[in-house]
Structure 1
């Protein structure tokens, strides 16, 4: 009985806090292998948000060659509460907290899904605990919604704007290690997935190819980009014979312009090429068998081919759906792959009908709590929060944001 009485009080609190004054938001992101927490000040609907603090701890995957879910879960178990404390400690007794009845924040936002189940649960449970302890509302955020709204967080900072950009409708290309999709966003809650990957994601294939070429580190696609850019000699691509790389989903008699992406063929093709050139190689021995120049050329060819595949698929989709796509003049590029500068240049060059490309700062392309905080703010200011009895979900379609149980609008369960 006490629980439901508390929930009733919790719901009735929302509209007054959301509409009457400025407020602070604490956001948590733990969908994969990064523990990230941030603090955002929201002065008002017509004023730019202010990022007050942001901290991120990432799993070291150098030796394992990939993400091990148990290790990611343990990272979140160890670092989520610790990082929240790092963020809150400096403001526990500041002027805002004292004037706010001892509450350092007014809203808690956290990634509810999609993602790795155990990782999501670690962060979302901490968020629910904070919501109860501080008696403030909770907003469960869709991870991909966070990515596609990222430019709206930063577009008006330092500018004389009363609204964030881009305005709806706009296209988003979300390219990361776990997702590659083209999305048409018509409103905050209405999104249509124009194309998705049929197998693995763009970031995943770049990581796999980088590892096959003997590269090591965290976020291998970014390591490979740096490796390629270490030598800007324009003649390097002509020094060795070009790799024979696939054209996934290429049109055939029985298959025309499938609205999808496919990346798995690239790793099979790279291995086939390498076995022909360096029989019996392994990623470890390739470092000695192949010159650095050759490995750099192969990395460049793979990267360019993957990006060309994405762009060509988009162009084909535009030809097939001109009435739905060609009138859209804004494109958001987000996700970890979106930080790649070569990819950004290729998009500008090969999609000339797009008037405005929205490229977040590279540090906000990969998973972070800031994108979750801003998406949470947009949901909160639309009247939505999450029931304290909700739980994280590994699978959640962007096209069905409101399909999950547990949404609350202006204090009433939906």
Structure 2
């Protein structure tokens, strides 16, 4: 006869009663989220009393040190996930005490299968141990929903601030949010848990001799105790010419358009609903971030790259190098952008050609059918840079080009690349119906220009990189819509958001015309209307 468990372990914690729970739309939901799709190990604890407000209780990310390999090394990233995920989770779970989240959200794809498996298997274990649902999130869907997350965070912050000032009786009531008492320590209360992590000092990572040795990482953490700006606008114009954009107060409503730019994707996505999307524009070769990273490794001096630590975000180093801040000025970039097609731009291009002897053009910009194709192409622009460097080295008698020319060439590449991005974004808007043209732009772009007659929303950059906060929010939206994931779910290396793209091996779902976000197996649909009625 097996031994009996101690009696206290058979009892429910005192905070839980046998009362019938409220439906997901009308009660405080807490979600623990895990993100391990690439080289970032990230966890988040998010609470949301309504579909329009949310509070980030804990958020921490550890990035694997891949700089020595010149890019993301799959084995190094896997070792980093295995090393750091459990300690990060232990710290958050310890603060939860006897409480447990309502469900666990985790990135299921797309991404590196081994990296995804670590996060997905851990999430499955937590879901089984706690007896709560699992929600497997599409990584690109989470990026798409990030503007809605930031608006929800801002809304909750405004409610807390009003409550602290005594304005509006009951502001934020029922949210269960507790403002952090100090940014130096973690706090816990009976009603809800507020975890505030302080940023860790970057740990110097010695150059590893093998991928296994590269497990030393730096960690960063964020807290949303203060109001987050929705728009972080940098303008190349002078101070008296700066175009001020009003801060949006409402989350983008379906349908809307999203520009997704990263090292692996460059897409314009038309989102009809939470689970229905159409990729209007996609790259036919490499992503914008991939091209910029390759150019950065050739153009940015080694001493500038060293200032970015172990990060492999070479595009950011290229941006810092090509668009330096003016000394003593608050303006981030000491550069004036000239629109293409005019005399000023023609004179600028001519001056560069006379000084350096190179001429570059934007991808797919030559007169003809290619000008209107809904496609991105960046490999040709990167190859042009390589050819310029080889030719100039030969012309200079084997000497590499100077820093001034490196900066000018890098600046030209970035300007042409982002003009290509903007041109296809406009074509994507034109491809949509008149009543569907609501713009949401997510991109790491140095010069953001507002599109006329459209609302442009660019979240803070820390929420545009890979992070578990966006996974938590996407999981919340899916869970509130009645979706959860079965425990037999497997990681997906490729998982397009496009309704007309089917996952390899999912022939049965393709036969029924189920693709995109819902094209993966193991989706479970709850009856949300019945939950609300009960």
What's the TM-score once normalised by structure 2's chain length?
0.65
Q: CA deviation at 1:23?
A: 2.2
Q: Measure, in 2, the Cα distance between the counterparts of 1:53 and 1:268.
A: 43
1:35 counterpart residue number:
41
- Count of residue correspondences: 373
Q: Which moved more, 1:105-114 or 1:222-231?
A: 222-231
Which residue, out of 192, 198, 206, partners 2:284? Answer: 198
Which residue, out of 446, 452, 459, partners 1:352? Answer: 452
The Cα RMSD (Å) is: 2.8
Cα distance change of structure 1 residues 280 and 50 upon mapping to structure 2, 3 Å threshold: farther
Q: CA deviation at 1:61?
A: 2.4
C-alpha offsets along residues 96-137 of structure 1, whole Å, 9 cap, x if unaligned? xxxxxx333121000011111111111111111110111111
1:405 counterpart residue number:
521
Which residue, out of 111, 117, 121, partners 2:107? Answer: 111
Q: CA deviation at 1:326?
A: 4.8
C-alpha offsets along residues 289-338 of structure 1, whole Å, 9 cap, x if unaligned? 3332222211111111110111122334445x2xx25544432222xxx2
1:6 counterpart residue number:
none
User: What is the 5 A alignment of 1:14-413?
Assistant: 18-19=24-25, 21-46=27-52, 48-92=53-97, 102-156=98-152, 157-158=154-155, 165-215=251-301, 216=305, 217=308, 218=311, 219-230=313-324, 232=326, 233-234=334-335, 240-241=355-356, 243-250=358-365, 255=370, 257-279=372-394, 289-319=400-430, 321=431, 324-334=432-442, 338-342=443-447, 344-345=448-449, 348=450, 351-354=451-454, 356-399=455-498, 400-410=516-526
Cα distance change of structure 1 residues 248 and 325 upon mapping to structure 2, 3 Å threshold: farther
Q: Measure, in 2, the Cα distance between the counterparts of 1:34 and 1:223.
A: 18
Q: Measure, in 2, the Cα distance between the counterparts of 1:235 and 1:56.
A: 35
C-alpha offsets along residues 154-208 of structure 1, whole Å, 9 cap, x if unaligned? 2142358999610111000001111110011111111111011111111111111
Quick check: which one's helix share is greater? 1
Q: Measure, in 2, the Cα distance between the counterparts of 1:243 and 1:373.
A: 47
Q: Measure, in 2, the Cα distance between the counterparts of 1:149 and 1:305.
A: 28
Partner secondary structure for residue 305 of structure 1: helix
Q: CA deviation at 1:16?
A: 5.4
Q: Which moved more, 1:180-189 or 1:223-232?
A: 223-232
- Is the CA contact 1:168–1:185 (under 8 Å) kept in the aligned structure 2? yes
C-alpha offsets along residues 235-279 of structure 1, whole Å, 9 cap, x if unaligned? 998674374224323456564622110111122100101111123
Q: Measure, in 2, the Cα distance between the counterparts of 1:383 and 1:144.
A: 20
Cα distance change of structure 1 residues 360 and 243 upon mapping to structure 2, 3 Å threshold: farther
2:211 counterpart residue number:
none
- Is the CA contact 2:104–2:133 (under 8 Å) kept in the aligned structure 1? yes
- Is the CA contact 2:78–2:115 (under 8 Å) kept in the aligned structure 1? yes
Q: CA deviation at 1:27?
A: 0.5
Structure 1, gaps ≥5 residues long: 1-12, 93-101
Partner secondary structure for residue 86 of structure 1: helix
- Is the CA contact 1:59–1:75 (under 8 Å) kept in the aligned structure 2? yes
Q: Measure, in 2, the Cα distance between the counterparts of 1:235 and 1:53.
A: 40
Cα distance change of structure 1 residues 19 and 254 upon mapping to structure 2, 3 Å threshold: closer
- Is the CA contact 2:32–2:472 (under 8 Å) kept in the aligned structure 1? yes
- Is the CA contact 1:261–1:310 (under 8 Å) kept in the aligned structure 2? yes
Cα distance change of structure 1 residues 14 and 265 upon mapping to structure 2, 3 Å threshold: farther
- Is the CA contact 1:244–1:269 (under 8 Å) kept in the aligned structure 2? no
- Is the CA contact 1:179–1:201 (under 8 Å) kept in the aligned structure 2? yes
C-alpha offsets along residues 30-87 of structure 1, whole Å, 9 cap, x if unaligned? 11111110000112335x1100010001122222111111111111111122211122
